[in-house]
Structure 1
Amino acid sequence: MDEQTIFVLRRIFKKIPSRNIEDLLKNWNCLTADQLRALDYTRPKWTLVENIISFCEERRLNMKHITNLEMINRIENPDNDTWHSCQLVEPQDDALFVELTQFKEQLKAYLEGVIRHISIKIKKHEDEALWIRIAWGDNFSKPNHLKPTYVVHHLHTSYVFICNLMAKHKILLYQALVVSTKHGSIKDAHLSNRSLTAMRTLLLRHYQQVFPNNHSMILDEGNTYASHPCIEKEHAPHEERRDQLASEAFGDSPTPKLETAVYRLETRYRGNGKTTLSDKEELFRGVVKFSSTSLLHSLRHCVASGMVEGPVTPLLSAITQKGRNYFVITDKGPGVSS
C-alpha cells in the first residue's frame, strides 16, 4: 500500500464510529477470518485502526479495495451528508430499455472521454439503487479520493440524488447522466435533505397520502377544552375533521424525515388595489425557513391537535404533493426558480 492509500484509509476510519467498525470489516470481506479474530475492538480507536492498516498491508490491498470499503460505509450510512435531487426530463423512445451494463459503459465512457484522470465505481444495492462514486481529477492531477462525489439513481426512474458535487464538475456529470439514461436534459428538483431515504420516499412516490378534496372547511374551534364525556362527544367530529385535514396534507403513514423547508420571497408591497405602496419597482426580497428534526411530522401534529386552523395552506402541503422543500414566491404566486 502506498502512502496515499494509507492516508485515505485513515480518513475513512476517522469518520466511522468505533461501534460500527467490526460489522463494516465483515461486510468488506477483504481481511481473513484470522485477522478479524485478532482485532481487539475494545482498544482505543487509533490503535485498532493501525492494526487494521497493518493487516491491509499484509493483504497488499490497493485503492480499489479502499474505495469499496468507503462505498459500503456510505451505503449503510447515507445520511452523513446533504443530498440534492435532480430530475431527468425529455426521455427518448428507448429510455425504458436502458440496461445496467449499457448505463455503466456509457457513463464511464463519457466521463473518461472528457477527463483524463478520473475514478468511477458503480455498485448495485439490494434495493435496486445504483450507487456511483466519482473521484475527480483533471488532465494533470490524479483523482482526489478524499472528496468523492456520490450519485444514487434507480434505473428507469426520472430522479437522481447527488452529494458533494463541485460547481466545475456539475455540467460534466449532468451531461453524462443525460447520455447514459437516454434523456434530453436534466434539471434541479428543488429538494435537498440529509435523509436520502426521505427524499426517495417523496420523489419515487412510495409515500402513501390522501389528497385534499373540494369540501375542506376551515376549523374555528378552540385548541383546548375541559375533559368531560359530553364535551368530548361534542368535539369528536371536530377531532376527526382535524385528523382528516392532517392526513390530506401529510398522509397517515410515518412522514418522511425532512428537516427544512425554504421559501424565497420576491414580492412588492401593495395596497388594497393593484398599486404598489412604493414608487420604486424594486422587489421586496426575503427568505422564510422552517426547521425541525422532523418537519412534516411537526406540521401534521400542529394541524391534528388544532394548534393551527385548516385546511393546510398550499405553501405547506406542496412539500409532500410536489416533493419539494425549496420554493420561490412571486407576485404571480408560489413557484420555483427556473
Structure 2
Amino acid sequence: MDDLSRRLLQRLVRRIPAQALKTTLGKWDRLTAAQRQSVDFTQPKWTITETLLAIFEENEWTMKHVTELEMIHIIDNPNQGMWYAFQLMDPEDDAKSVELTQFKEQFKAHLSELVRHVSVKIKKHTDEAVWIRIAWGDSFSRPNHMKPTYVVHHLQTPYVFVTSLTSKQKPLLSQALILSTRHQGIKDANLSGRKLAAIRDLLMKQYQQVFPTKYPGTLTEKNQTVSNPRIEREQAELGENRFQMACEAFGDGMLPQLQSAIYKLETKFRDHTNKTMTEREELPFKCVVKFSSTNLLESLRECAASGIASTPVTPLLSSIPLKGRNYFVITDNGLGPSSQTNQPQN
C-alpha cells in the first residue's frame, strides 16, 4: 500500500462518523467476519484508522480499493459539496440506445485520449444513476486522488450533475460526455445547490406540479373589519385562490430543497439631470440579489399563499421551477429574467 493510498484512507476514516463508517464497510463487503470484528467502532478514530490500515496492508489492497470505499460513502452522502447541473444538447439518432457497458468503455477511452494520466471509476447506483469518479492528472503528474471530480448522469436523459470541477477540467469532461452519450453539445443549466436530490428533482420535474385551472386574474383584497358569514366566505375564497396560484407557481406537496436563487441585474445609469453619468459608455451597472432559505421554493410558496407576496407570482420567482434554474441575469430588454452561464469553480 503506497503512501498516497494510506493518506486517502486516513482522510476518509477521519471524515466519516464511526457508525456511518461501519455501515460503509458493510456495504463494501470486502472484510471477512474476523476482520469486521477486529474493528472496534467505539474506539477513537486514530485507533480505528490504524486497525483498517493494518487490514489493508495484510490484504495488499491498493488505491483501487480505497476509492471503492470512498465512492460508497459519497453516493450515500452526496450533500457535502456544491453540485452544478449541465444539459446535453442535440442528441444523435442512436443516443437513446447507449447502455451502461458501452457508456463506460467509451467514456474512459475518450477521456484517456484527452488526458494522459487520469483515473476513472464508474458505478451504477440503485436509482439507475451512473456515478463517475475522476482523479485528474496531466502529461507529467499522476492522478490526484485527493481532489477527485464526481459526476452523476442518468442514461437516456440529457442531464449531468458535477461537483469539484475546475475550469481547466471542464472542457475535457464535456467532450468525453458528449462523445460517449452521442450528443452534439453540452451547456450549463444555470442550476446549482448543495443538495443533489433537490437540483435533480427540480431539473427533471420529479415533484408534484400543479397546473393552472382557474383564478387567472390578479387577486384584489379589501381590509374588512366587520365580521359576517359572507365576508368570511369571501376571505376564505381569496385564501384558496392565493394557495392555488402559489401551488401553480411552485408545486404542491414536498418540494425540492433548493437553498438559494441568484439574480444578477445589468442596467445603465438613468438620470437626465446627471449628464456625466448618463452619457458614460462604459460597462453597465451591476448588482446581485440572492434569496436563501433551507427550502427556498417552500418559503416562496408560503409567502404567496399567505398574502405576504402578491399573486399571481412574478415571473422572476416562478421561473425557478418553470425553467429549472436558480441563476438569472436581468437586463434592460424588458423580457424578464434571462440565463447566463454560471461557471463552477472550486
Alignment TM class, shorter chain as reference? over 0.9
**How far 1:225 moved relative to its partner?**
7.8
Give distance in 1, aligned partners of 2:36 and 2:223.
Answer: 59
Q: Which secondary structure does the structure 1 equivalent of 2:304 belong to?
A: helix
Q: Can you give the 5+ residue segments of structure 1 that lack an aligned partner in the other structure?
A: none
Structural mapping, 1:1-338, within 5 Å: 1-212=1-212, 215-221=215-221, 232-270=232-270, 278-282=278-282, 283-332=284-333, 333=335, 334-337=337-340
**Helix, strand or coil for the counterpart of 1:167?**
coil
Shift of 1:238: 1.0
- Measured against aligned partners, the alpha-carbon deviations of 1:42-101 in whole angstroms (never above 9, x if no partner) come to 111221222122122222211111100000000000110100011100111111111211
Q: Shift of the alpha carbon at 1:219?
A: 3.0
2: CA distance, partners of 1:118 / 1:153: 19
Indicate how the Cα distance of structure 1 residues 293 and 109 shifts in structure 2: closer, same or farther if over 3 A, else same: same
CA deviations over 1:132-180 (Å, ceiling 9, x no partner): 0000011221110000000000111011000101111111110000000
Could you state the TM-score of these two structures normalised by the residue count of structure 2?
A: 0.91
SS in 2 for 1:122: strand
Q: What SS does structure 2 have at the residue aligned with 1:131?
A: strand
The Cα of 1:234 is off from its aligned counterpart by 3.7
Cα-to-partner distance string for 1:88-143 (whole Å, 9 max, x where unaligned): 00111111111211111111111111222110000001111000000001122111
Structure 2: distance between partners of 1:41 and 1:215: 59
Counterpart of 1:262 in 2: which secondary structure? strand
Q: Distance in 2 between matches of 1:225 and 1:173?
A: 63
Contact 2:208 2:255 in 1 (8 A): no
Aligned amino acid, residue 338 of structure 2? G
Find the aligned partners of 2:137 and 2:81 in 1 and give their Cα distance. Answer: 21
Alpha-carbon displacement from aligned partner over 1:206-265 (angstroms, at most 9, x marks no partner):
122123468533334379989987764342101101110110111112110111100011
Q: Which shows bigger deviation, 197-206 or 81-90? A: 197-206
- For structure 2, the residue ranges without an aligned partner over 5 or more in a row are 342-346
Question: How far, CA to CA, are the matches of 1:317 and 1:271 in structure 2?
Answer: 31
The one-letter code of the counterpart of 1:243 is: F
Distance across 2 between alignment mates of 1:224 and 1:140: 76
Worse-superposed segment, 14-23 or 134-143: 14-23
Q: What is the percentage of aligned positions where both structures have the same residue?
A: 54
Counterpart CA distance in 2 for 1:201 and 1:84 is: 13
Aligned length: 336
Change (3 A) 1:114 1:306: same
Distance in 2 of aligned mates of 1:310 and 1:281: 38
Name the CA distance, whole Å, in 1 between partners of 2:155 and 2:42. Answer: 42
User: Structure 1 stretch 277-286 or stretch 128-137: which is displaced more?
Assistant: 277-286
> C-alpha distance in 2, partners of 1:153/1:113?
21
Provide the residue aligned with 2:344 in structure 1.
none
Is the CA contact 2:149–2:163 (under 8 Å) kept in the aligned structure 1?
yes
Distance in 2 (alpha carbons) for counterparts of 1:161 and 1:227: 54
Q: CA RMSD in A?
A: 2.3
For 1:17 and 1:99, the matched residues in 2 are separated by: 36
- 227-236 or 167-176: bigger deviation: 227-236
Worse-superposed segment, 257-266 or 44-53: 44-53
Corresponding letter in the other structure for 2:331: T
Tell me if the contact between 2:268 and 2:285 (Cα under 8 Å) persists in the aligned partners: yes
* Conservation of the 8 A alpha-carbon contact between 1:262 and 1:327: yes
* Paired residue secondary structure (1:242): helix
